[in-house]
Amino acid sequence: MSSALSRRRFFQLAGLATLAFPLRGLAALDTSGGDEVVLLNDIHVTGIPEEKIPANAKADGEHLRSAVKQILALPKKPAAVIINGDLALAVGTAADYAVVRELIAPLREAGIPLHLTLGNHDVRDVFSQAFPEMKSASSLKEPRHNSVIDLPSTRLILLDTLDQTPGPGGRLGAEQIAWMLARIDEVPTKPVVLIGHHNPQVGGDSRSYKGGIADTADFWPELAKRPQVKAYVHGHTHEWTQAKENDIHIISTIACAYVFNPNTNATGWTSARFNPLGFQLKLNTLEPDHAWSGETKWFFGRQPAPKKAGAKQK
């Protein structure tokens, strides 16, 4: 990290990783407070002073710190804040996650539920040790860190796409796919939005498929059969893009820490507002004069096919 983080401070933060404070981001949560959540991804925080920082990144977590301040200043408290993977800069360490805890602590103190997913720069075992109070909604033989958030209008299912660290590609695995489909089938008439760090290998720019979810073909046809599934939201590509496959929205939200091409993308976080027919995403860029600052876009969900006249009721 930067010189602002001394070696003494580094070891203090590393020690914090063994402490547990309630983040309220538990496995399944009925957020009766509303249908608005905040999405961040690719925060890429480091707790290692000597670690090399990408040219477009901030070495001291400045972007995440700024995002947290902006979220706390919202006129209405969000039902949840979701940080969608790549919490760590390179390969997740206890020191990295200690810094993450410190930077997101103001959100916890404000009583905002927090949910974290894992990306290809995270290490599942180290994360679990650093955040022991964040229990997974699933209990699988191949452990995964999952959450289910039931908003008044919409079910959000948070997936663990981490395969290997720091390999770029992701994977759900057969057990998690079965778990995901079971959670979808529990709400046949309620819209479902899936959230995971890696992009699926369908829809959008095929150049990004190599670093996407390797077993997409094992679950996407099943999603297509379930009209309550409206969208899959991801990070990983550090881009703001939208696509569709089988009328399911595939959306990449902006990265918090840095972008690969500052001429075509921006850093920041995303506000999401859901209703029974769709949802609105609003970009909150950390560059206030960016052309995308405040941009909003509605995504309307596919609807079940209308019944044909004279069709027999089952």
Residue 294's CATH number: 3.60.21.10
1: in domain: no
DSSP 239: S
73: in domain: yes
pLDDT given for residue 56 in this prediction? 59
314: in domain: no
Pairing of β 80-84 and β 114-117: parallel
312: in domain: no
The type of residue at 145 is: H
308: in domain: no
As for how many domains the chain has, the answer is: 1
pLDDT given for residue 34 in this prediction? 80
For the chain of 314 residues, list the mean pLDDT of each consecutive stretch of 10: 39 39 38 79 88 61 93 96 95 95 96 97 97 95 96 97 93 98 97 98 88 97 98 96 96 93 89 96 93 94 67 49
pTM: 0.86
Structure tokens at 129: 């040790």
pLDDT given for residue 61 in this prediction? 82
Q: By C-alpha distance, which of 62, 57, 110, 119 is closest to 92?
A: 119
The whole domain housing 285 covers 7-18+27-300
102: in domain: yes
181: in domain: yes
Taking the C-alpha atoms of residue 22 and residue 306, their distance in angstroms, rounded to an integer, is: 46
2: in domain: no
Pairing of β 248-252 and β 268-275: unpaired
